[in-house]
Amino acid sequence: MAYRTLKSIFHQKDQASADREETARRGSPAALQWDFPIGENTMFCLITPEIATQIEQIMLRENRARELWRQLPGGVHHHYLRSMIIEEIHATNEIESIHSTRQEIAEVLDAANGLGASQRRRFREMARLYLALADGKPDIPEDLDDLRTVYDEVTAGEITSEEAPDGERFRTGPVRIFDGQKVIHQGTPTEELIDKGLQEMLRQSRDETIPFLIRVVAAHFIFENVHPFYDGNGRTGRYLLALDLTRCLSPVAWLSLSASIADNKDRYYRAFQNAEHPLNKGDVTVFVAELLSIIAEALGRLSSDLELRKTQLERIFDHINDLEGSETSPLADTPPGTLSTLSVIGQASLFGERGEVDLDTIARTADKSKQYARKRTIALVDSGFVAETSGKPLRFRLTGPGRSLLGLATA
């Protein structure tokens, strides 16, 4: 049976019925309580069968994604992480209606990864943070100063002087969120209360009596409810959510998170409004279930994507093996190692951003010199199976005939 909100019980029956149900829920052995106010009530959640099922589903899908990631050749990890981090940053910007291009993000990501220089400053710190998530080496916030540092890095170059925090760490003035017609959310009114709310967020994040994934979702709700900054709360909150997920799931488990939230944006915001409604008396059970469902969807999307790309990768390897054993191969007269170079470019077509790969990466993957790699790429370009897409730096991708040669024409 679907979990009924206290608001729905009030409207169907009366206030007394809703009050009795609230008392029963708060006193249940399945209830979790937080010292955090939502309006005039403290926050609580029931561990319902739906929430237990969502947690199990997340762990099963995470195990599948982890195994698929382990099965992929190490050489494609870099390509895939790069393209997915670009999509993750682009998606989190889209949710906030912040204009950014994938090319812009790609440039600062490469610079943050030591693969080139970029004069762009926008998103540079954000790129560095997401790279640290992928490496499994992020800095976990331990206090309020750390939370402010995360905010500064996530929003670097994007906050106007009028919207910058004006308190010791956070804002001192009010903040209201409108849907175009009415106020749908008011952040915590003073910096003193902001500090108190965020301290509860950090405290409960370390409370091992609460299931970890529920702590993750509760922390996300508290941060967004407090709304400690004038601008940039959404981007910072989603990064913190991804960061928390890396503490209990694999380093790649968050890769489709912002894209899944973007696809479910209306549902996501409705869940917040539901939890904050005065008639629901601080009950965040529906919010917890909804966000766990979105996290499960993100992991399902990641697993499906990895499964598809693994199948396509195996197809590339099969075709390369066939070409190596064929006297009639169209690349039979090319320098030794040309097919291996074609394989690297084919892998980039599946896992790389825009399906491209640069000469440095080709050489590094083959553990050869750039001169060695350049000679093979010239042979592939001359054969019509590979195209040179840029000169500085040299980048390559498969042509239509090249995709056909590797069995990817319909992929």
From first to last of its 411 residues, the chain has per-residue pLDDT tens of 689 999 999 999 999 999 999 999 999 999 999 999 999 999 999 999 999 999 999 999 999 999 999 998 877 887 888 888 888 888 888 888 888 888 888 888 777 666 555 555 677 788 888 888 887 778 899 999 999 999 999 998 888 999 999 999 999 999 888 766 777 788 999 999 999 999 999 999 999 999 999 999 999 999 999 999 999 999 999 999 999 998 888 878 888 899 899 999 999 999 999 999 999 999 999 999 999 999 999 999 999 999 998 999 999 999 999 998 888 899 988 999 999 999 999 998 888 777 888 899 899 888 899 999 999 999 999 999 999 998 878 999 999 999 999 998 754
Q: Quick one: how far is CA 257 from the chain centroid? A: 4
Give CATH for domain 31-304: 1.10.3290.10
Q: Which structure tokens are listed for 227?
A: 């709304």
Would you state the pLDDT for residue 203? 97
Q: Which structure tokens are listed for 192?
A: 């003193």
- Report in angstroms the alpha-carbon separations of 140 from 132, 206, 239: 11, 12, 11
pLDDT tens profile 276-295: 999 999 999 999 999 999 99
Give the 3-state secondary structure of residue 34. Answer: strand
CA 302, CA 307: separation in Å to the nearest integer?
9
Q: Which structure tokens are listed for 106?
A: 């790609």
Would you state the pLDDT for residue 126? 82
Which string of DSSP letters, residue by residue, matches 149-217? Answer: HHHHHHTTTT--GGGS--SSSS--S--EEE-SSSEEEE--SSHHHHHHHHHHHHHHHT-TTS-HHHHHH
Task: Say if residues 88 and 255 touch (Cβ distance below 8 Å).
Answer: yes
Would you state the pLDDT for residue 106? 82
CA 362, CA 371: separation in Å to the nearest integer?
11
Residue 234 marked as a ligand binder: yes
Residue 172 marked as a ligand binder: no
Give CATH for domain 325-405: 1.10.10.10
Residue 269 marked as a ligand binder: yes
Residue 20 marked as a ligand binder: no
Would you state the pLDDT for residue 147? 98
Domain boundaries, the chain: 31-304, 325-405
Sign of the Cα pseudo-torsion (32, 290, 91, 163, in order): negative
Who's near 307: CB < 8 A, 6+ residues apart? 68
Task: Say if residues 285 and 45 touch (Cβ distance below 8 Å).
Answer: yes
Residue 233 marked as a ligand binder: yes
Beta strands in 259-393 (DSSP E): 357-358, 386-391
- Report in angstroms the alpha-carbon separations of 322 from 180, 316, 349, 402, 405: 61, 10, 20, 15, 10
Give the 3-state secondary structure of residue 53. Answer: helix
Question: What residues are labeled active site?
Answer: 227
Give the 3-state secondary structure of residue 327. Answer: coil
Residue 360 marked as a ligand binder: no
Would you state the pLDDT for residue 33? 97
Q: Residue 210 CB: number of other CB atoms within 10 A?
A: 18
Residue 235 marked as a ligand binder: yes
pLDDT tens profile 165-214: 999 999 999 988 876 677 778 899 999 999 999 999 999 999 999 999 99
pTM, rounded to two decimals: 0.89
